[in-house]
C-alpha cells in the first residue's frame, strides 16, 4: 500500500514541469488585472507538444484558473502543454464579453505557445460547466 501511495504522489510531483503563471493575455482599455491572465504548465524540454486550453466553470459569475494547477501538472507530465485561463465574470460583464476574453486568450496562445514548447497548429479547447 505504501508503494502505491508513493507512486501516486510521484505522479503529482512537478519537478519536470515548467510552470509560468499570471501571464497577461490582453492589453487595452478593458484590461482586468485579475481576469485577463493565464497559466501555462509545460513539460520540461519539450517541443511541438499538443496544447490544451482549459476554461474554468462557475456559473459565469465565479471561478478561477488557480484551482486547476494539479490538472495542469498532470497533463504536462503526459507531454501536453496545459493553459488555464481567467475571463471576466457576471454580473459586471455579459456572455459576449466572456466569449471575447476566451477568444483573446486563444489568440494569445496561438501567437505565443511555441515559446513554451507547444505546437500552435495543435491547440484544443475544453472546459467545464460555464467553461
Tens-place pLDDT, residues 75-122: 999 999 999 999 999 999 999 999 999 999 999 999 999 999 999 999
- For residue 101, which of 52, 35, 22 has the smallest C-alpha distance? 35
Query: If DSSP codes are grouped into helix, strand and coil, which group holds residue 70?
Result: helix
Residue 7 has a pLDDT of 45
* Number of residues that this document lists for the chain: 131
Task: Kindly name the residue from 11, 20, 115, 129 that is annotated as catalytic.
Answer: 129
Task: Tell me the mean pLDDT in the region 65-74.
Answer: 97
- Residue 129 and residue 38: Cα distance in Å, rounded? 19
- Residue 85 and residue 55: Cα distance in Å, rounded? 6
> Annotated catalytic, 129?
yes
**Residue 43's beta-bridge partner residues?**
17
**Which residues have C-beta within 8 Å of that of residue 91, sequence separation ≥ 6?**
61
pTM over 0.85: yes
In the block, cell 524540454 appears at 45
Q: What is the DSSP letter of 120?
A: E
Predicted confidence band of residue 14 (pLDDT cuts 50, 70, 90)? low
- Residue 67 and residue 125: Cα distance in Å, rounded? 18
Amino acid at each position: 500500500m505504501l508503494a502505491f501511495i508513493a507512486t501516486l504522489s510521484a505522479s503529482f510531483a512537478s519537478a519536470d514541469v515548467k510552470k509560468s503563471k499570471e501571464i497577461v493575455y490582453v492589453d487595452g482599455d478593458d484590461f482586468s488585472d485579475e481576469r485577463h491572465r493565464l497559466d501555462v504548465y509545460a513539460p520540461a524540454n519539450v517541443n511541438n507538444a499538443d496544447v490544451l486550453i482549459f476554461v474554468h466553470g462557475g456559473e459565469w459569475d465565479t471561478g478561477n484558473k488557480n484551482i486547476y494547477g494539479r490538472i495542469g501538472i498532470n497533463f504536462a507530465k503526459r507531454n501536453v502543454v496545459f493553459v488555464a485561463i481567467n475571463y471576466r465574470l457576471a454580473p459586471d460583464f455579459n456572455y459576449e464579453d466572456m466569449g471575447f476574453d476566451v477568444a483573446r486568450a486563444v489568440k494569445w496562445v496561438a501567437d505565443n505557445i511555441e515559446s513554451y514548447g507547444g505546437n500552435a497548429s495543435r491547440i484544443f479547447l475544453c472546459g467545464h460547466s460555464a467553461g
